Amino acid sequence: MRFSLLPPARRAILIVFTFFAFLSAPLFFPPVLVHADVPSFSTLSIRDRQPINLKSDRYRRLFAELRERHGFTTRQLDAIFTGVTIKKQVIDLMARPSEVKPYYQYREMFVTPAIIQVGRGKMGEHKAILDRIERELGVDRQFVVAIWGIETRFGRNTGGFNVFQVLNTLFDAYPRRSDFFRQELIEFLLVCRETGLDPHTVQGSYAGAFGQTQFMPSSFRKYAISFDGDRRPDVFHSTADILASIANYLKHFGWRFRAPLYADIGGELRSLPLIKAYYEGRQGRVSWRQVTTGQSKNIPRPADGGLLAIVGLERPGGGLRYLAAYKNYQVITEWNHSNRYAMAVTELAAAIAGP
């Protein structure tokens, strides 16, 4: 018989904590292959510049959709797709994204004295645009500038990958998210047709994001706006369009002007509802009352009465720093689902706006 040194109340919390951890863990099942919608070659034998099989069932269905639903001709598709090859480096990079680093290491890539200094300069340089963004879109300027800085170092690094090749590579050779990148490939071709871009020349990230906003094609079509008067969103060259498009994205997901983003709630979660919300990730929510009661902490009440997320960020010496995340923090996770990213944006924005 084994004995626990934990008191009964703490032991009960530990049992439920373990139970919710089990529920939140993804069940392992082998991938289900539907029809012939699988890569046209084994991902174990991918070679760089390997030609993609455009006669595979998956590409036949893609071309049929592009013709029937979006009005592309066979001649246009031949001109666009002929000769497309795999970029193996893309697959390798997808396997090791920077968001898997603990927060204290992740933060060091973005919240640096150099980036803060440039960000403050950009705030002054583009004051008129940012004034108008706050007035018309209701998004705080420092967060717009912080996202711009993290995404592309204020436009200096927009990516060196051919977006068309990237999206084809991930559609054909990255089964885990093949459906997602299939749709992004379609959206990209529509973006190019609508804006006059040549699909073969657009450069971006290894995930297919492009421009100084690093929008995926579907996000560009939904959220990019013109703010410079020419009625054509330009996230490559127009600073007004770039900053306003970032703000428009945040506005769409419910950004609240000058509202709090988070409150520190300690290094330990002390109630079952908070533990459950933490393990439910982006879907987990608790009330303000549950946080203040469970943690015995007085934190600002959400102005809209909304629910809070529970976030844990890694500390250098071990353990987690727990946060109650308000609506605006949750909005940033709509831009990038990583809580590490959201906190880096939040801390960089505070540093840029600070004295």
Could you read off the pLDDT of 201-215 as tens digits, one per residue? 999 999 999 999 999
The total number of residues written for the chain in this structure: 355
The stretches of the chain forming alpha helices (DSSP H) are 8-24, 57-70, 74-81, 88-94, 103-106, 113-125, 127-137, 141-152, 163-173, 178-195, 217-223, 239-252, 272-279, 288-295, 327-335, 339-353
The answer to whether residue 344 is domain-embedded is no
Give the C-alpha separation, 299 to 262, whole Å.
Answer: 9
pLDDT at 9: 43
The answer to whether residue 314 is domain-embedded is yes
Could you read off the pLDDT of 252-278 as tens digits, one per residue? 999 999 999 999 999 999 999 999 999
Neighbour-count burial of 80, counting CB atoms closer than 10 A to its CB (0-12 exposed, 13-18 middle, 19+ buried): middle
pLDDT at 44: 57
Render the burial of 186-209: b for 16+ CB within 10 Å, e for the rest: bbbbbbbeebebebeebebbbbbb
Considering its fold, how many domains does the chain have in total?
1
The answer to whether residue 208 is domain-embedded is no
Q: 């590490």: which residue's tokens?
A: 340
The answer to whether residue 25 is domain-embedded is no
The parts of the chain modelled with pLDDT lower than 50 are 1-42
The answer to whether residue 296 is domain-embedded is yes
pLDDT at 38: 41
The answer to whether residue 268 is domain-embedded is yes
pLDDT at 71: 98
Instruction: Give the predicted TM-score (pTM) of the model.
Output: 0.87
CB contact set of 115 (below 8 Å; sequence gap of 6+): 149, 153, 348
The answer to whether residue 26 is domain-embedded is no
The answer to whether residue 278 is domain-embedded is yes
Q: Are 99 and 110 in contact (CB under 8 A)?
A: no
Range(s) of the domain holding residue 286: 262-325
pLDDT at 16: 47
CA–CA–CA angle 269, 271, 273 (5° rounding): 105
End-to-end CA distance of the chain: 61
